[in-house]
DNA sequence: TGAGGGATGGGACCA
DNA sequence: CCATCCCTCA
């Protein structure tokens, strides 16, 4: 079968596995997506399952799109009947189709993280919560973390007054969401889990329908997502929870890589992989270890590094390709020098004929991009920074969406508050306070309370209400794109930004919203024509709003330009480049300072480094700076332990004889040991930046000093031993 | 209402 | 250093 051509033995085994649960440990660059998509195509083309019997889950819209595209390239049929999407997208689909059973209004709105934050803030205020003890962000985190563990407020155990209060907020939050008809991201998951778990008929329907469930990036799933999968797969323990009957379970095909688990901070639970193996008695664990991306030295570095982690399922990447170039390492004197070197090296790679889009500069934290951008800009190298503001998160777009939400549902207090005085129309805090008092007293939404406060209609508030009413009236029967157009004009948003000095971009973004709406409507129409199921959103406006919340809009068409790619290591996951620069490899930065306080924190940082390394195909550069400007002051650091964990024989140390201020005649290729540490004004015979040795902590660098004479204390960075304050009088420090 | 000053805090991310 | 938040004042 041509479908199976060019698969290696393990890939072939995975693709053609019998109808059983399976765990595929897919190393970086091992053809994971190919296995996943070919498996689906194989199942369908062998008649094993119909397209409607396939459920494929990913984490990002991009991954879902790619999967759908690749499957339709392999099969003569359309992918329409298949459920391919993100967890949230699929849950949204489920809840829209069964909103009544799920206890939701038909046009429920989705809150993104920003909306949720504002919502919590508003809630805390209305409950007179102590602002100093309860920060909105903290309460938001508490709610999300619990939802992601599958716990409602009633399921959370409170140990003290503080946590009891948090639980109260959680309960009040859920009630308020229900009243306003809004749903946050975690709620999409939890609500659809509860829907299936409580509704036996529905559960059996979907369990019977989805014969094959395939999950991408399984190591990133959180506990709730795993339970959701278990429930849909008809796993016994989840069915007992749900008091359901017996039915044959569907096959769960999970693909993941524990070594690339880097999202614990957002709830991912690597343990799901081991749990899956146990819970489902998985007999088929297949390792994909042949790597088709990177050259030998790069893989040697990755393997050696990750071997330092203790809790692993275990994997070793190998390649048929040669060793390739050594990995080049630079010890720069400063972050500026590091950046200048990157620029220089990118130039030189360009001269060798490498396209800039094939090169990436990676860093641990976003703040590092500034220096790099400065150097690249000075050098005239086109670059693109990933991970800025996304389209649907922009201020003006959020305002526009809030107007649309009000058209769909005027009871939406969050949307109401966002735009009631935007553009400014003289509705101040005083008026809004009266309004919210009235609403609370009457137990209604703000919108319903307007007549109580606005009185006879001469007020600004009454005028706002009339504006919304008028818009609702005139857009009722219009196609989506025209609704948007009317809203932009009628709300005054367009005029407001046109009058603003620097409003041109915003006007452009707003006008783009009309195009986005038109494109969405067109796609929905095409989909609706072919779809056999009546579960699409009944209302195009609601559908568009859900789309805006679920797909924050990374479709930047500006990818045409050949630009160097700048991004955090996190956002590089899943991507690959011919040449990769991993910068800022300093103790305290990468691994990050914070990580030492978390258990498993260091191992997660190491996995992050593993991800960074494995992005590179043929050229890998590592760099660190001895001094770095952080939070407005110079920090002195030592090289990251991760550099030391890479075998010396694959490394090639570089150093520059830097002729200040220009870097033109730098001989970067001169082999050299680490450069001398810079010395600066210091105290008490020691200098800031000086290397010292401590009998217990070993080698360190003096970072700062305070006090004088017998009181003097030095702050020393001992690398993996951490940052220490030492009393000069007692500490047995010797210059190194 | 909105501009401007002063305090504060600063990890990564997708839906 | 920088962005963000809250408060004050015109």
What pLDDT was estimated at residue A169?
Answer: 93
**Strand A723-727 to A651-654 pairing:** unpaired
Q: What is the rounded CA–CA span in Å between residue A415 and residue A398?
A: 9
Looking at residue A294, what is its pLDDT?
A: 98
What per-residue confidence (pLDDT) applies to A691? 67
Report if CB A632 to strand B is under 7 Å.
Answer: yes
Catalytic one of A10, A11, A32, A259: A32
Q: How far apart are CA A640 and CA A593, in angstroms?
A: 11
- Kindly tell me if the per-residue pLDDT of A25 is higher than 70: yes
> Which is the catalytic residue, given A16, A19, A33, A576?
A33
Q: In what order do the strands lie in the sheet with A212-215?
A: A83-86, A54-58, A212-215, A251-256, A22-26, A284-288
State the average pLDDT over residues A445-470: 85
> Any catalytic annotation for residue A230?
no
Q: Under a CB-based contact definition with an 8 Å cutoff, are residues A232 and A210 in contact?
A: yes
CA of A131 to C1' of C6 (A): 12
CA dist A687 and A456 (Å) reads 75
**Confidence band, pLDDT 50/70/90 cuts, at residue A633:** confident
Question: Percentage of chain A with pLDDT > 70?
Answer: 86
CA nearest neighbour of A533 among A197, A82, A212, A67: A82
Nucleotide nearest A630, CA–C1', reads C1
Q: Is the CB of A59 under 7 A from strand B?
A: yes
Lowest mean pLDDT among A108-122, A347-361, A507-521, A690-704: A690-704
CA-to-C1' span, A571 to B2 (A): 38
Q: Is A175 a catalytic residue?
A: no
**Each residue's pLDDT tens digit, A309-332:** 998 999 999 999 999 999 999 999
CA atom of A313 to C1′ atom of B14, Å: 25
Inform me whether the pLDDT recorded for A71 exceeds 70: yes
Q: Which residues have CB under 7 A from strand C?
A: A 629, 631-633
**E strand or H helix that includes residue A567:** strand A564-568
Residue A353, pLDDT above cutoff 80: yes
Q: Is the pLDDT of residue A476 over 50?
A: yes
Distance, CA of A167 to CA of A156 (rounded, Å) = 7
The answer on pLDDT for A554 being more than 70 is no
DSSP A336-391: HHHHHHHHHHHHHHHHTT--GGGEEEEESSGGGHHHHHHHHHHTT--EEE-SS--G
Q: Known catalytic residue: A33?
A: yes
The secondary element (H helix, E strand) that includes residue A85 is strand A83-86
Instruction: Please write the tens of the pLDDT for every residue from A395-408.
Output: 899 999 999 999 99
Rounded to an integer, what distance in angstroms lies between the CA atom of residue A167 and that of residue A186? 16
Q: How far is the CA of A114 from the C1' of B11 (A)?
A: 18
pLDDT, tens only, A405-444: 999 999 999 899 999 988 888 888 888 888 888 888 888 9
Provide the pLDDT for residue A682: 38
Instruction: Establish whether the CB of A88 is closer than 7 Å to any nucleic acid atom in strand B.
Output: yes
A32 annotated active-site? yes
Tell me the mean pLDDT in the region A47-65. 95
Cα–Cα distance, A53 to A212 (Å, whole number): 6
pLDDT at A570 over 50: yes
Confidence of residue A373 (pLDDT cuts 50, 70, 90): very high
Across residues A509-537, what is the average pLDDT? Answer: 76
| Mean pLDDT, chain A, whole residue set | 87
Indicate if CB(A421) is under 7 A from strand B.
Answer: yes
pLDDT confidence tier of residue A499, bands split at 50, 70 and 90: confident
pLDDT of res. A703: 55
Specify whether A615 is catalytic: yes
A248 pLDDT tier (thresholds 50, 70, 90): low
Alpha-carbon dihedral of residues A192, A193, A197, A200, nearest 10 degrees?
30
pLDDT score, position A388 = 78
Is the Cβ atom of A263 within 7 Å of strand B at any atom?
yes
pLDDT tier for residue A162 given thresholds of 50, 70 and 90: confident
CA of A711 to C1' of B1 (A): 53
Strand B bases within 7 angstroms of protein beta carbons: 1-2, 9-15
Catalytic residue among A230, A356, A615, A713: A615
Determine if strand B comes within 7 Å of the CB of A135.
no
Q: Which of residues 544-573 of A touch strand B (CB under 7 A)?
A: 550-552, 554, 567-568, 570-571
């Amino acid at each position: 079968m041509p479908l199976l051509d060019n698969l290696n033995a393990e890939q072939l085994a995975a693709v053609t596995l019998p109808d059983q649960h399976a765990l595929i440990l897919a190393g970086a660059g091992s053809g994971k997506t190919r296995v996943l998509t070919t498996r689906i195509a194989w199942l369908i083309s062998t008649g094993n399952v119909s397209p409607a019997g396939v459920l494929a889950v990913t984490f990002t819209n991009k991954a879902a799109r790619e999967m759908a595209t690749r499957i339709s390239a392999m099969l003569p049929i359309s992918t329409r009947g298949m459920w391919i999407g993100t967890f949230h997208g699929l849950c949204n689909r489920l809840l829209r189709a069964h909103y009544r059973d799920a206890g939701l209004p038909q046009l429920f709105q989705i809150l993104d993280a920003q909306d949720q934050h504002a919502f919590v803030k508003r809630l805390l205020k209305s409950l007179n919560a102590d602002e100093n003890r309860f920060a909105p962000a903290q309460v938001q985190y508490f709610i999300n973390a619990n939802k992601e563990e599958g716990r409602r407020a009633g399921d959370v155990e409170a140990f003290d007054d503080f946590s009891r209060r948090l639980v109260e907020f959680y309960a009040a939050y859920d009630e308020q969401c229900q009243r306003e008809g809004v749903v946050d991201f975690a709620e999409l998951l939890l609500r659809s889990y509860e829907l299936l778990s409580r509704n036996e008929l529905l559960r059996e329907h979907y369990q019977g329908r989805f014969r094959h469930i395939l999950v991408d990036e399984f190591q990133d799933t959180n506990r709730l997502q795993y339970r959701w999968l278990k429930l849909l797969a008809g796993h016994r323990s989840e069915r007992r929870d749900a008091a359901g009957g017996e039915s044959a379970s569907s096959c769960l095909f999970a693909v993941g890589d524990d070594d690339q688990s880097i999202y614990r901070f957002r709830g991912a639970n690597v343990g799901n992989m081991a749990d899956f193996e146990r819970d489902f008695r998985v007999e088929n664990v297949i390792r994909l270890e042949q790597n088709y991306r990177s050259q030998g030295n790069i893989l040697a570095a990755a393997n050696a590094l990750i071997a330092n982690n203790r809790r692993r399922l275990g994997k070793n990447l190998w390649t048929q390709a040669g060793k390739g170039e050594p990995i080049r390492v630079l010890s720069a004197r400063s972050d500026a020098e590091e950046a200048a070197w990157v620029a220089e090296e990118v130039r030189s790679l360009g001269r060798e004929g490498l396209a800039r889009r094939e090169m990436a500069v990676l860093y641990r934290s976003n703040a590092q991009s500034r220096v790099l951008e400065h150097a690249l800009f000075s050098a005239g190298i086109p670059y693109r920074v990933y991970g800025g503001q996304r389209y649907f998160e922009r201020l003006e777009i959020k305002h526009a969406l809030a107007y649309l939400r009000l058209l769909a549902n005027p009871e939406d207090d969050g949307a109401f508050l966002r735009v009631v005085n935007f553009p400014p129309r003289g509705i101040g805090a005083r008026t809004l306070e009266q309004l919210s008092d009235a609403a609370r007293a009457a137990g209604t939404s703000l919108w319903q309370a307007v007549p109580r406060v606005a009185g006879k209609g001469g007020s600004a508030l009454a005028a706002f209400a009339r504006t919304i009413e008028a818009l609702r009236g005139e857009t009722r029967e219009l196609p989506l794109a025209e609704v948007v157009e009317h809203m932009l004009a009628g709300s005054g948003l367009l005029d407001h930004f046109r009058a603003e000095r620097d409003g041109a971009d915003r006007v452009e973004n707003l006008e783009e919203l009309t195009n986005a709406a038109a494109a969405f409507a067109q796609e929905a129409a095409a989909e609706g024509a072919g779809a056999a199921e009546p579960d699409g959103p009944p209302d195009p406006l609601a559908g568009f709003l859900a789309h805006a919340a679920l797909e924050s809009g990374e479709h930047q068409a500006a990818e045409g330009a050949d630009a160097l790619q700048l991004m955090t290591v996190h956002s590089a996951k899943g991507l690959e480049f011919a040449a990769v620069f991993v910068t800022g490899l300093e103790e305290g930065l990468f691994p990050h300072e914070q990580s030492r306080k978390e258990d498993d924190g260091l191992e997660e940082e190491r996995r992050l480094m593993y991800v960074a390394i494995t992005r590179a195909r043929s050229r890998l550069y590592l760099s660190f700076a001895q001094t770095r400007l952080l939070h407005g002051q110079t920090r002195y650091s030592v090289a990251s332990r991760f550099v030391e964990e890479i075998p010396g024989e694959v490394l090639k140390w570089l150093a520059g004889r830097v002729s200040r201020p220009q870097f033109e005649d730098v001989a970067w290729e001169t082999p050299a040991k680490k450069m001398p540490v810079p010395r600066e004004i210091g105290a008490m015979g020691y200098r800031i930046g000086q290397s010292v040795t401590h009998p217990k902590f070993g080698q360190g660098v003096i970072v700062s000093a305070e006090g004088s004479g017998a009181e003097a204390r030095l702050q020393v960075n001992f690398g993996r031993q951490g940052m220490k304050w030492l009393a000069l009088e007692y500490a047995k420090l010797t210059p190194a």
